[in-house]
Amino acid sequence: MNPTLVFDIETIPDIAGLRILHGLDERVSDAEVAEMAFQQRRQKTGSDFIQHHLQRVVAISCVLREGGNFKVWSLGGLDEDEGSLIQRFFDGIDKYTPQLVSWNGSGFDLPVLHYRGLIHGVQCARYWDMGEDDREFKWNNYISRYHMRHLDLMDLLAMYGGRANAPLDDLAKLIGFPGKLGMDGSKVWEAYQQGKLEEIRNYCETDVVNTYLVFARFQMMRGVLSRDGFSKEIELVRSELGKLNQTHWQEYLAAWPED
């Protein structure tokens, strides 16, 4: 059975890119550049959501479920540049050919990684294979919305209709998982400006575990896991997280009382 790789990214406005596109020099502060971009988007769309190609990736967190092993971590170090983080992600796909699982990965995470990878000259042949190198990928690849090599769980549960999309935090908490702790995506830029990159990565890691747990519940719903198998999966996640000494995992487990 192929390993499962669940992933999540966190982003901030691409200040350097915005300077290039709008002809802004260093006399305009980073905060002012970002606020200008937010205002332009609000005027155009009613939301301050910046377009995907102008989202700079600052964290990529993953859960790898392979054989009897469960691992959660963030790619690269705190000082690693964006291009290297993205290359690490796609190198993992080259190495494992995993099933990718995400929450809104088709709508946000992967398009961002596509654009930002293109900007940085990232190589990812396995990911983009649609049957040219491996015939099996013609019928099941990472790019097609309806294939399972990448499962966007939010998109699938909503029957590919955006009006039915549910927030991961809501669904995780309704099932009985911890959900988000102390941060959400709207606070990432503020936290980054305060030098809190480690906290951003910690938040991203807890969110990717939320995604994995909801995915495990989905696997039970569709019969891949029995009820007993799901219970054992939950026990495995608790056990592995309990071995980690970081404060965010202690807080996560404290917010997740056992039945």
Closest CA to 169 of 255, 82, 94, 44: 255
In this prediction, residue 1 carries a pLDDT of 67
Instruction: State the Cα–Cα distance between residues 196 and 218, nearest whole angstrom.
Output: 33
Torsion of CA 23, 30, 207, 158, to 10 degrees: -40
Per-residue burial over 64-87, b if 16 or more Cβ lie within 10 Å, else e, is: bbeeeebebebbbeeeeebeebbb
The Cα-based distances of 179 to 41, 94, 244, 248 in angstroms read 29, 31, 18, 13
Yes or no: say if 207 and 200 are a contact pair by the CB < 8 Å rule.
no
Question: Per-10-residue mean pLDDT for the chain, 259 residues long?
Answer: 93 97 94 96 94 98 96 96 98 95 97 98 96 90 91 96 94 96 84 96 97 98 97 97 95 91
Residues with Cβ < 8 Å from 51, sequence gap 6 or more?
41
Yes or no: say if 208 and 6 are a contact pair by the CB < 8 Å rule.
yes
98 alpha carbon, distance to own chain's centre: 15
In this prediction, residue 211 carries a pLDDT of 98
Domain ranges of the chain: 4-254
Amino acid sitting at position 172: A
| DSSP single-letter state for residue 256 | S
Instruction: State the Cα–Cα distance between residues 162 and 179, nearest whole angstrom.
Output: 21
Instruction: State the Cα–Cα distance between residues 234 and 213, nearest whole angstrom.
Output: 8
In this prediction, residue 145 carries a pLDDT of 87
Class of 4-254 per CATH? alpha beta
Instruction: State the Cα–Cα distance between residues 241 and 243, nearest whole angstrom.
Output: 5
Instruction: State the Cα–Cα distance between residues 9 and 258, nearest whole angstrom.
Output: 28
In this prediction, residue 146 carries a pLDDT of 84
